[in-house]
Amino acid sequence: MKTKKNWIRSELPSLLLLILGVMAFRSSFADHYYVPSGSMENTLFSGDRVLVSKPAYGLRVPFTKVKLLDGEAVERGAVVIFDSPRDGTRLIKRIVGVGGDRIDINAGHLWVGGESVAHGVGSTEVIGDKLVGINLDHDGGPDIAQLLIPDGMLLAIGDHRGRSLDGRFFGLVAESEIYGKALGIYRRRDEGFVWRPL
């Protein structure tokens, strides 16, 4: 009994330091995100687990939003993690508009700068450099008409356009508020471990 207590006493600082190191790594470098809803179908499904790059848009001081180094600019088409400006809930959505864009959404279909991003017939769009299969099973959600996005701001919406509580409801998100970039799905509820880049 005494030996066990001595071991705990001697190793506890090392264990705490290890835990703090893992938490700092997750805060600043890589993390995962559990998809709680179907707002990003057919790209992400409820129960998916997604690998997230935290330094993609800038390296931050662990546990803060203070940037040490700038990263790449958030690009149209990226799937990103941020806190809802409405209530602070952590969300995963697709960026469909960046600073300088003029955005229209009509019946769930996206237009950028007056040009449709539809790809062929059906519910596929080219957003940035991503080919995106959108879900219009529940209509398209609220429309947007000629929204000009200021520099430093982003419009984030779900791929399941009629079932996503997104920027059409809570407004634009500051680029500085983006936590990280979703890189790919590493686990799907019905399939187990997979790798599907986003």
Residues noted as catalytic: 39, 93
Contact 157, 164 (CB under 8 A): yes
The CA-CA-CA angle for residues 39, 53, 57, to 5°, reads 95
Q: Are 123 and 180 in contact (CB under 8 A)?
A: no
* Residue 52 tokens, joined: 């997230």
Amino acid identity for residue 188 in this structure: R
- Tell whether omega for the bond before 135 is within 30 degrees of 0, i.e. cis: no
Angle at 173 between CA 108 and CA 150, to 5 degrees: 90
